[in-house]
Structure 1
Amino acid sequence: MATIPTEGAEAPCSIITFNPSDRRAFIGGSDARIIMGHDQDDLTRLWREKRGEIAPQDFAQNLIVQLGSVTEDLNRTWYQRASGATVTDIQKRVRHPVHRWMAATLDGIVAETGAVFEAKFMLPWAFSEEAAADKHMAQLQHNMWVIAARSAVLSIITGGGKWVEIKVHADPLLLTAEKKFWRCVQSGEAPQLFGIEPPRPRLAAIRVVDMSGSNAWAEFAVLYRKTRSAALEHERAKTELKALVPEDAKEARGHGLRAKRSKAGAISFDVIDAA
């Protein structure tokens, strides 16, 4: 059986031909989002699908899903142009070499790094990188596990004409939930929500945000401004007091303040009752 290059991945993955009408044989990337989600009804429905009790959902009439499909080529082209990277292994269907119940259809692999490439279309209303990463994190983690990749790239085009790239690193928590779910499929025991939060990506700090509309920001901004001078004086006092403590002193006290030197030499202060 042929294998695909994974550019640094730890194990080869078998290329397979999926029967789209029989998704019962494996957990796919779109399934991972449900398994890691918070909707018991969706989890139960997926479990029944995998057991062959009900038919899989048909997304042919789902406009958002179809928009994602028709913009995938544009998304990949835009990513390659913006990043200078090359995406290979487009629409490869692969299965994990050990956990045969894990499989994925890849949007691609970034040739230079071996990262999973995932293309998505999202609506612009209330779009944020944090929400986008949360929404697709489980699928990204699943696909990384299938090909033993250490990272993934989420390339997003929004309906508002915006393109965003989010980089994600692999995390082992997802595998625990998927193993438990698959045992339920095999045993017939109905699954319960697993309560495992997907990892959060480290997003690049690139935005300038206006917080004028936040009441909480307003409250603490006023408090910060009010106490800033006192805080600066406090830090200056600590510096001067530390300099006054003799080098051979384990403890110094006076005027309601005690300075204690740790074994490592660090000096800390406590307020005490002035006797």
Structure 2
Amino acid sequence: MATIAAHGAEAPHHVIKFDPIDRRAFIGGSDARIIMGNDQDDLTRLWREKRGEIAPQDLAHNLIVQLGTVTEDLNRTWYQRASGQTVTDIQKRVRHPVHRWMAATLDGIVAETGAVFEAKFMLPWAFTEEAAAEKHMAQLQHNMWVVAARTSVLSIITGGGKWVELTLHADPLYQHLLLTAEKKFWRCVQSGEPPLLFGIEPPRPRLAAVKVVDMTASNLWAECAATYLRTRAAHGEHELAKSELKKLMPEDAKEAIGHGVRAKRTKSGAISFDPVEMEAVHAPGQ
């Protein structure tokens, strides 16, 4: 029995060791991406692998996968240096304490926060943070569920020499959909019934707002920005005048009128203003 810290709390999980063929005995994070995906051939192949009908796919000649493997140590080191955090539990394999068919092979756990650490290599062409988060969301949500973590860190090195850090949060709705799909898939593995795509549209990933974006090319932004700058001073004077008028209104007054402005007090005490035509208004008491 081993212990993994999750947000300061000690949570017991079973640490297990297997050779590659033993991956047939559980659903891991990389499997979750296929199960939540939209490729029927990949899903059928995974089902056959879990049933022992075919050997696991040999990724030794997949260059992208191998680049991810050989840069993993560098990725982790770069993250620790840039963030000041420490990554522990490297390549630890953990089984879910309740759903015994769920397990995770961790790239690591961020010691200070309990966040799941995931190191990835991605090609630079058309790379976006949103696309990266969406691509790896199923794996991250699966691993967070297995170890009861609330956050995960996606540390990415691109082929263009760029390093990106994304923080993603556990999403209860996504994890509910994920668990439902994985349960159905595992029943198919046990029963021999071929699985079909589950057709689940997962929630869009929620990313921390960390980017600085240049909106110079947007014509609508330019139009609205000009209006904002032109009216900013007048808006400030307007708000100041409202504040002063509220102070001047007697506390026992339900309504106050003068110089083209009417102030009304609601039962809750809120005061609102509107312009009036003075010649058409006769204030009470006059």
TM-score for the superposition, normalised by structure 2: 0.77
Aligned twin of 1:146 = 146
Shift of 1:75: 0.7
For residues 223-238 of structure 1, the aligned pairs below 5 Å read: 223-238=227-242
Matches within 5 A, 1:1-275: 2-6=1-5, 8-9=8-9, 11-18=11-18, 20-21=20-21, 23-36=23-36, 39=38, 41-42=39-40, 45-46=42-43, 49-50=46-47, 58-185=58-185, 186=187, 188=193, 190-203=196-209, 205=210, 207-252=211-256, 255=260, 257-263=262-268, 265-269=269-273
User: Please, which moves more after superposition, 108-117 or 52-61?
Assistant: 52-61
Tell whether the 8 Å contact from 1:123 to 1:159 is kept in structure 2 after alignment: yes
Higher mean C-alpha displacement, 84-93 vs 254-263: 254-263
Asked if the contact 1:152/1:167 (under 8 Å) is kept, the reply is yes
Kept in 2: contact 1:96–1:147 (CA 8 A): yes
Q: Distance in 2 between matches of 1:25 and 1:144?
A: 20
Deviation of the 1:181 alpha carbon: 0.9
| 1:156 Cα deviation from its structure 2 partner | 1.7
Residue 197 (structure 1) shift: 0.5
Q: Structure 1-normalised TM-score?
A: 0.79
Contact 1:75 1:155 in 2 (8 A): yes
Q: Which amino acid aligns with 1:124?
A: P
* Aligned partner of residue 259 in structure 1, secondary structure: strand
Unmatched 5+ residue regions in structure 1?
A: none
* AA at the equivalent of 1:224: Y
- The 8 Å contact of residues 90 and 107 in structure 1, kept in 2 or not, is answered as yes
Amino acid at match of 1:160: G
Q: Percent identity?
A: 65
Amino acid aligned to 2:4: P
Supply the RMSD in Å over aligned alpha carbons.
3.3
Of structures 1 and 2, the larger Rg is shown by: 2
Q: Does the 8 A contact of 1:138 with 1:198 survive in 2?
A: no
**Distance change in 2, residues 1:163/1:237 (3 Å):** same
Report the count of equivalent residues.
268
Once the 2 structures are TM-superposed, how far is the Cα of residue 125 of structure 1 from its aligned partner?
3.3
> Aligned to 2:165, what secondary structure does the other structure show?
strand
Cα gap change, 1:49 to 1:131, in 2 (>3 Å)? closer
1:9, 1:148 within 8 Å by CA — same for their partners in 2? no
Deviation at 1:96, TM superposition (A): 0.6
Unmatched 5+ stretches in structure 2: 281-286
**Bigger shift: 75-84 or 65-74?**
75-84
Structure 1 residues 163, 183: CA separation in 2 closer, same or farther (over 3 Å shift)? closer
Residue 159 of structure 1, CA deviation = 2.0
Contact 1:36–1:198 (CA under 8 A) maintained in structure 2: no
- What residue identity is the alignment partner of 1:46? L
Cα distance in 2 between the residues matched to 1:24 and 1:153: 27
Give CA deviations for 1:147-172 in whole Å, capped at 9, x if unaligned: 11232222222222222323333332
